């Protein structure tokens, strides 16, 4: 038995953002709080959002623009204060995963009527949520279609996770104009995050035919479009496909889970502050290799969306899994040439003496439960040592 749930209304394509006013109207939203960060603001994307709402005189917008790359409970509480001061009635999160997760967490605080998000860690959410629209400006996390919000508790160096079906956005708007200004390095890191969602969902012990379909297509779209978008950031069609791929990968993993690669990445982010996409790039080939003992054939299946029918057909069945890992490594080498996206912990500037703490945190991370092979501390430490070189 499995459950597959995704209630997010998706609007995707050229000028999709122009639908925002209609969607707010449908949600009976009159006083939205836009939650965003400085990068998005400086790139002029909030102006673009405001422009699409010009003429709708019933809508009063407030803006909170101080979300950091790794959002925290303090940021959430501050943004919730802005929501209340301005008597807002809904949220539009315009940004990457950190911004959208912050938006979800702010929605918890203002809907449940508490002052501090940490009061609700581990609690069941009881009140109806405010209308929530997600407008991703990266093509990576898939947070626009997931029901989780991840924050970083900087006091304890750990990630704090809030998960509830109530956190699903009502609407996600994927407009390639919103990812156009992403520099090549961020484009690559976020797309590899999406690739790791798709691949980990595909090999997860909770995989199902629906998550497989989303994951399979996402792998294909990322492989076909990422390099062309890095070479030409204005390639709108490529940006469109990457945005859709990230969203599909998000829908896949929110229903089947991610595994070891993410457990290591969450731990590395918590302990060393390594950006999530960088960690995914480092750990993805190692995670696939480690899981080969249990799901070799399934890893081999991913060669088809990754490299296409010719390479797939030419590779003997028993060699397809190794070829998949080899192709991921070659893909990452190409990305390194173009963007310098780190492939090893050393390239990412991680200190070797932090590996024990990372391994300890990784085996306690929630993602580890969905990994097809049970991971011990020694296994995790060994992978970290391999990933260091």
Pairing of strands 158-163, 148-153: antiparallel
Angstrom distance (rounded) from CA 219 to CA 212 = 10
| Complex with Fe ion: residue 29 or 187, whichever CB lies closer | 187
| Residue 365 binds Fe ion, judged by CB under 5 A | no
247 near 10, Cβ under 8 Å? yes
Reduced to 3 states, what is the DSSP secondary structure of residue 162?
A: strand
Of 76, 91, 204, 197, nearest in space to 139 by CA:
197
Structure tokens at 386: 């391999």
| Complex with Fe ion: residue 75 or 278, whichever CB lies closer | 278
Taking the complex as a whole, how short is the minimal distance between the CB of residue 28 and Fe ion, in angstroms? 33
| Complex with Fe ion: residue 193 or 301, whichever CB lies closer | 193
Stretch of 99-107, 112-120, 155-163, 186-194 contacting Fe ion, by CB under 5 A:
186-194
Angstrom distance (rounded) from CA 181 to CA 184 = 9
Q: Which residue is nearest to Fe ion (CB)?
A: 193
Taking the complex as a whole, how short is the minimal distance between the CB of residue 289 and Fe ion, in angstroms? 19
| Complex with Fe ion: residue 65 or 200, whichever CB lies closer | 200
Window 231-270: contact mask with Fe ion (x via CB under 5 A): ----------------------------------------
Taking the complex as a whole, how short is the minimal distance between the CB of residue 194 and Fe ion, in angstroms? 8
Taking the complex as a whole, how short is the minimal distance between the CB of residue 276 and Fe ion, in angstroms? 6
35 near 77, Cβ under 8 Å? no
Taking the complex as a whole, how short is the minimal distance between the CB of residue 6 and Fe ion, in angstroms? 17
Neighbour tally for 118: CB within 10 Å: 16
| Complex with Fe ion: residue 279 or 363, whichever CB lies closer | 279
80 near 51, Cβ under 8 Å? no
Query: What is the 8-class DSSP label of residue 182?
Result: -
Taking the complex as a whole, how short is the minimal distance between the CB of residue 124 and Fe ion, in angstroms? 25
Find the farthest-apart pair of alpha carbons in the chain and give their distance in angstroms, rounded. Answer: 63
151 near 100, Cβ under 8 Å? no
Stretch of 13-21, 37-45, 187-195, 282-290 contacting Fe ion, by CB under 5 A:
187-195
| Complex with Fe ion: residue 144 or 193, whichever CB lies closer | 193
Angstrom distance (rounded) from CA 237 to CA 248 = 17
The number of residues that bind Fe ion (CB under 5 A) is 1
| Complex with Fe ion: residue 48 or 161, whichever CB lies closer | 161
Sign of CA dihedral 354, 357, 360, 361: negative
Taking the complex as a whole, how short is the minimal distance between the CB of residue 138 and Fe ion, in angstroms? 11
Stretch of 80-88, 185-193, 318-326, 379-387 contacting Fe ion, by CB under 5 A:
185-193
Pairing of strands 9-12, 62-64: unpaired
Among 144, 193, 301, 307, binds Fe ion (CB under 5 A): 193
Binding stretches for Fe ion (CB under 5 A):
193
């Amino acid at each position: 038995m499995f459950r597959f749930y995704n209630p997010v209304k998706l609007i995707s394509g050229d000028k999709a953002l122009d639908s925002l006013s209609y969607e707010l109207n449908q949600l009976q939203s009159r006083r939205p709080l836009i939650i965003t960060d400085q990068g998005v603001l400086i790139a002029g994307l909030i102006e673009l959002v405001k422009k699409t709402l010009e003429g709708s005189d019933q809508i009063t917008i407030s803006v909170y623009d101080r979300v950091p790359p790794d959002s925290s409970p303090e940021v959430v509480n501050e943004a919730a204060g802005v929501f209340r001061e301005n008597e807002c009635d809904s949220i539009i999160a315009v940004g990457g995963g950190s911004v959208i997760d912050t938006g979800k967490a702010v929605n918890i605080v203002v809907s449940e009527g508490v002052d501090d998000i940490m009061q609700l860690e581990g609690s069941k959410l009881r009140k109806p949520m405010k209308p929530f629209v997600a407008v991703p400006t990266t093509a990576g996390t898939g947070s626009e279609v997931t029901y989780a919000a991840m924050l970083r508790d900087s006091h304890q160096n750990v990630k704090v996770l809030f998960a509830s079906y109530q956190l699903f956005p009502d609407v996600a708007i994927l407009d390639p104009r919103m990812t156009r200004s992403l520099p090549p390095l961020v484009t690559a890191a976020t797309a590899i995050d999406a690739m790791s969602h798709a691949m980990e969902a595909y090999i997860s012990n909770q995989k199902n035919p629906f998550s497989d379909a989303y994951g399979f297509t996402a792998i294909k779209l990322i492989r076909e479009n990422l390099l062309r978008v890095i070479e030409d950031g204005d390639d709108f069609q490529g940006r469109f496909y990457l945005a859709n791929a990230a969203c599909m990968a998000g829908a896949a993993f929110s229903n089947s889970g991610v595994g070891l690669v993410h457990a290591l990445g969450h731990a590395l982010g918590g302990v060393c502050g390594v950006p999530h996409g960088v960690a995914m790039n480092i750990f993805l080939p190692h995670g696939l290799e480690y899981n080969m003992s249990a799901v070799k054939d399934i890893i081999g299946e991913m060669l088809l969306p990754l490299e296409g029918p010719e390479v797939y057909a030419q590779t003997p069945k028993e060699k397809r899994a190794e070829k998949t890992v080899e192709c991921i490594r070659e893909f990452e080498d190409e990305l390194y040439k173009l963007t310098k996206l780190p492939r090893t912990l050393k390239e990412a500037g991680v200190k070797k003496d932090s590996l024990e703490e990372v391994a300890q945190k990784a085996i306690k991370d929630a993602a580890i439960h969905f990994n097809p092979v049970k991971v011990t501390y020694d296994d995790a430490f060994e992978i970290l040592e391999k990933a260091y070189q």
